[in-house]
Each structure stands twice: as structure tokens, then as C-alpha cells.
């Protein structure tokens, strides 16, 4: 059981101190909308800390285990689904190099939760720690943080694929498309650095400052960190409504307002970018139909342009209605991994992705989010994210794009660099 307390935020830097205060715990999930007031936004920000119970597993029977954990707990649980849970759903495998070695699924039942909206915080504490509420609040209000460690070594980012090797991979992907094996697939490449300690919170704050994305996340499980500036929602359940908002289609931004508006209009009318998006919309409609009430799958938005700090994106919104008794984990099981990070047909695309990519995706292109006690949920897509293993000091970020018959390898490579810009800038310019 939980006790709820309500607190009116008194100071403008309350959320900054709250996140700094949270670093004392081994399990932390911070979700920040950065004040993007989208139609389906429930909270401005959410913090969950300190596991009372948890589940950690590989892909084997992962969704069955998650279903049991969520059903038995019947409480708030926070965590992630890694991309490689695909192996639980289909006859697939993940044999590529993995420098991060994160668990493939992790969720925890937090002792303390903070739900922030319009200047008000709802604090949900398990009864066993409720007496800590007032002291925690005083500690947060007075928190000054710790001095950041200063690291003098320059961070040099390495490429898992050379440019020529990337072009070779794209040509092989296009050969599959021209043969009719697939219509579209998302091909990704890793950028990394080894034996490089970073300050996770400082890195996250810098990334968030320059990105200000609507599905930003700071995630910590022991020594595993995800510092995410994701602009994309994977899936949300609100009562009997289910919402998916895939991104496909990218254009860079310009500091010149006239040029920026031109780039935006060019993206909206770009046939190649629109076809990428529409193919994934069809895939999502098919995925949602597996749990939807008959006739309830709707496309609310098709190829709408959303503008973020770094890029313009084409986003579509697809909704459905499910029966009240439908298990929330079943909805995830029948839509995972998300179409925007796989391709069409999905299974064929995932097989080709595994063959051509050099790195195991892991948490990248997975999802971070939460279930509520009523079975509602909200998950982002883990893109535009820095992943860090603090035990072996391995730092990784991956970027990718949808490859279709109309793809130009040079333009696809340039799009990857645009998407990687914020992560590269944050890491290479760090001064602690």
C-alpha cells in the first residue's frame, strides 16, 4: 500500500535538486516531457527511486515473466524492454558484439514516486518508508549536490563502421529490398568509446539542455545507465485507449527562420520520407489490430511535422481501443519491437538487421517507461541516447535510419550524423 502526499513546488530549480537528490539510490527512473504539451502527455515529469522488488531477466520467456510480475505486484513498476526481447517473440537470435552487457529486461517496484504536473508534486510512498516523506522533502529543498569529478582526458568517439563499410552494408540492404525480401528496414550503427569514465548525471543534463526532447529519460540500475533525449513515444495505454506515435522522416534545422521553415516544408512534401512513415503506419495498424476491438484502429495524424531543437521529424499518431480485460503486457508483446526501429515485414526486417548490423542493440531501440497500478502504461523509444556501463567504463550511442528502395547511401549516412550530433557534442566537449 502507498500513502499519497501533495506538495506545491516553491522554487524554480526544484526538479533539478530532485534529480540530484535521487542519485543516492541504486535504481532511478526520471522521465521528463520538457514542457512539450502534446495531446497525450500525462505528467510534466516523473521520478521513481529505490527498488522494493524487481525483476531482471534475459529474453527467454521474458514477456511471461513480466506479465506475472505486473499482475502480482499491481503497483507502479518502472523499467525497460531491450530490443533483443524480439528473441522471445520469434525464432530470432542476437549474436553481435555487446560492449554494454545490460540485462535484457529490468523492472522495479519503487519505494518512492514523484509525479509532477503544473507545479504540483504527488508523492507516492510505500507505507514502509512513509515516515521518510518530510525528511526527504526537506533534504530535496535544501539539496546542494556534490562537486562534479573533473576528468582531463579528451573523449575520442570511435566508429564501429567506417563510412565505406556503412555504404557496403546499405547496398546489401538495398539488394534485399530490390529482391522483394522487405520493403523497409531500419539500419543502425554504433559510436563508442572504451575505458572512459563519465559523470552520468552531468552528461544527461548537458544532453537534455541542447535537445529538450519530450520523452527524455535518466535511467540507472546499479552500474547501467541510459541518458536519453528521445523524441519518440513507442506506446501508451490510457484506460482502454492505446496510442502509438512512430517517427519516420528527418530533416536538419537551421538558425535562419526562413531557411528553417523551408526545410520543414520540404520534409512535409518529401515523397521518400513520407513513404517511410506510411509503411510503418501500416505496420503499426496491423500490430494494434491484434488486441484492438473491431474497427477501432484509427490514424489520428499522418506525417505531421514536429520540430525539436536539433531536427524536424515526421510523426504519425495511431490509436486503438482494447477490451478492459486485455492484459497490458499482451499489448506490448504484440507490438514489440516497435515498427519504426525494425521495418516491414517486421520479422524479415529483423533477420536482415541482425545479419548486417555489427553491434547488439540491447537497450538501444528498446523502450523505457512504466506501468501504473491500474494497468495503464507509457513507454518511449530509446533513441538519441547515450548508454553507459559504469563498471567497465564503456560508453555507446547508436543512430540509424529507414532504408527503402529510394534510399541514397550518402544521404542516409548524413542523416545518421545529424542524429548523432547532440550525443557527440556532449561527450567530446565534456569538461568536469
Q: Which residues are annotated as catalytic?
A: 232, 248
d(CA 155, CA 198): 9
Alpha-carbon distance values, 30 to 81, 148, 295 (Å): 16, 20, 36
Contacts of 426 (CB under 8 A, 6+ apart): 203, 206, 207, 210, 386
C-alpha cell at 206: 548537458
Amino acid at each position: 500500500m502507498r500513502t499519497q502526499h501533495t506538495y506545491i513546488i516553491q522554487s524554480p530549480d526544484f526538479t533539478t535538486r530532485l534529480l540530484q537528490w535521487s542519485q543516492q539510490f541504486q535504481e532511478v527512473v526520471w522521465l521528463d516531457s520538457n514542457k512539450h504539451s502534446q495531446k497525450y502527455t500525462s505528467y510534466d515529469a516523473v521520478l521513481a527511486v529505490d527498488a522494493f522488488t524487481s525483476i531482471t531477466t534475459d529474453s527467454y520467456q521474458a514477456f511471461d515473466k513480466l506479465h506475472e510480475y505486473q499482475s502480482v505486484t499491481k503497483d507502479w513498476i518502472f523499467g525497460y524492454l531491450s530490443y533483443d526481447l524480439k528473441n522471445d517473440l520469434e525464432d530470432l537470435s542476437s549474436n553481435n558484439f555487446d560492449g554494454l552487457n545490460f540485462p535484457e529486461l529490468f523492472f522495479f517496484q519503487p519505494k518512492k514516486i514523484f509525479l509532477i504536473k503544473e507545479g504540483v508534486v504527488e508523492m507516492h510512498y510505500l507505507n514502509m518508508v512513509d515516515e521518510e516523506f518530510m525528511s526527504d522533502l526537506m533534504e530535496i529543498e535544501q539539496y546542494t549536490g556534490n562537486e562534479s569529478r573533473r576528468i582531463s582526458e579528451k573523449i575520442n568517439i570511435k566508429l564501429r563502421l567506417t563510412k565505406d563499410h556503412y555504404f557496403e552494408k546499405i547496398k546489401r540492404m538495398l539488394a534485399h529490398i530490390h529482391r522483394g525480401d522487405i520493403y523497409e528496414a531500419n539500419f543502425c550503427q554504433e559510436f563508442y568509446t572504451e575505458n572512459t569514465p563519465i559523470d552520468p548525471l552531468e552528461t544527461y543534463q548537458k544532453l537534455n539542455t541542447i535537445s529538450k526532447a519530450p520523452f527524455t529519460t535518466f535511467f540507472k540500475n546499479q552500474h547501467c545507465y541510459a541518458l536519453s533525449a528521445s523524441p519518440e513515444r513507442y506506446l501508451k495505454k490510457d484506460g482502454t485507449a492505446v496510442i502509438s506515435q512512430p517517427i519516420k522522416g528527418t530533416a536538419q534545422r537551421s538558425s535562419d527562420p526562413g531557411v528553417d521553415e523551408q526545410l520543414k516544408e520540404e520534409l512535409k512534401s518529401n515523397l521518400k520520407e513520407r513513404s517511410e512513415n506510411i509503411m510503418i503506419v501500416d505496420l503499426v495498424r496491423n500490430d494494434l489490430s491484434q488486441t484492438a476491438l473491431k474497427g477501432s484502429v484509427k490514424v489520428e495524424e499522418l506525417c505531421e511535422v514536429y520540430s525539436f531543437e536539433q531536427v524536424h521529424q515526421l510523426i504519425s499518431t495511431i490509436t486503438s481501443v482494447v477490451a478492459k480485460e486485455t492484459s497490458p503486457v499482451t499489448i506490448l508483446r504484440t507490438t514489440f519491437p516497435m515498427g519504426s526501429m525494425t521495418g516491414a515485414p517486421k520479422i524479415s526486417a529483423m533477420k536482415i538487421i541482425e545479419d548486417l548490423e555489427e553491434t547488439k542493440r540491447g537497450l538501444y531501440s528498446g523502450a523505457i517507461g512504466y506501468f501504473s497500478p491500474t494497468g495503464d502504461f507509457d513507454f518511449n523509444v530509446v533513441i538519441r541516447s547515450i548508454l553507459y556501463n559504469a563498471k567497465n567504463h564503456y560508453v555507446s550511442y547508436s543512430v540509424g535510419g529507414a532504408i527503402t528502395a529510394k534510399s541514397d547511401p550518402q544521404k542516409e549516412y548524413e542523416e545518421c550524423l545529424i542524429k548523432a550530433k547532440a550525443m557527440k557534442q556532449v561527450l567530446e566537449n565534456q569538461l568536469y
